[in-house]
Structure 1
């Protein structure tokens, strides 16, 4: 049986245009049941959607031992959801807005996240 939950990415930039941390107060941490562990939880997918402007997000996944590093995700306003399957054992997901350029000032358009277990 599939399971899902959704929410919003906080306003404000967490990362500068080079991926450096501006401030962690603009991030969200999702604590999730470990993917592909046992019979209840299956494959874990993370999706994002945005409106009114494109968004760039920094995403890092913790597998119970270490963080994956911050990976940039480009989320287009004009396209569908952007989704990826997360690795087995994923337990925590850190998400924050990433400046697309030094002059980027759009840090408050709506961006939502969706986690699904299938």
Structure 2
């Protein structure tokens, strides 16, 4: 049976336009049961959606031993939600807004995350 959890991306930029950390207080960490546990949880998918403006997010996944490193995800207002399957063992997901350029000031438009086990 599928399971899901969702929430909002905090306002404020976590990362500058070069991927450097501005401040972690603008980010969120989502804890999840370890993905792909035999006979317990299925595949884990992470999705994002936004409205009124495009959003760039920095995402890092922890597999129980180490973080993956921050990867940029570009989410568009005009497109559908962006979803990716996460690796087996994924347990924590760090998410923060990433400036698209030095002049980017849109750090408060609606943006949300969704995790699903299927």
Normalising to structure 1: TM-score of the pair? 0.99
Tell me whether 1:9 sits opposite 2:9 in the alignment: yes
Instruction: Give, in whole Å, the separation in 1 of the partners of 2:30 and 2:41.
Output: 16
CA displacement at 1:38 relative to structure 2: 2.7
Instruction: Give, in whole Å, the separation in 1 of the partners of 2:79 and 2:3.
Output: 24
Q: Which residue of 2 aligns with 1:110?
A: 110
Q: Which residue of 2 aligns with 1:42?
A: 42
Q: Which residue of 1 aligns with 2:57?
A: 57
Q: Which residue of 2 aligns with 1:84?
A: 84
Q: Equivalent residue of 2:37, what SS? A: coil
Q: Which moved more, 1:33-42 or 1:76-85?
A: 33-42
Q: Which residue of 2 aligns with 1:18?
A: 18
Instruction: Give, in whole Å, the separation in 2 of the partners of 1:39 and 1:107.
Output: 40
Cα RMSD for the two superposed structures: 0.4
CA displacement at 1:39 relative to structure 2: 1.0
Number of aligned residue pairs: give it. Answer: 118
Q: Which runs of 5 or more structure 1 residues have no equivalent in the other structure?
A: none
CA displacement at 1:40 relative to structure 2: 1.8
Q: Please list the CA deviations of residues 47-68 of structure 1 after superposition, one character each: whole Å capped at 9, or x if unmatched.
A: 0000000000000000000000
Instruction: Give, in whole Å, the separation in 1 of the partners of 2:26 and 2:55.
Output: 14
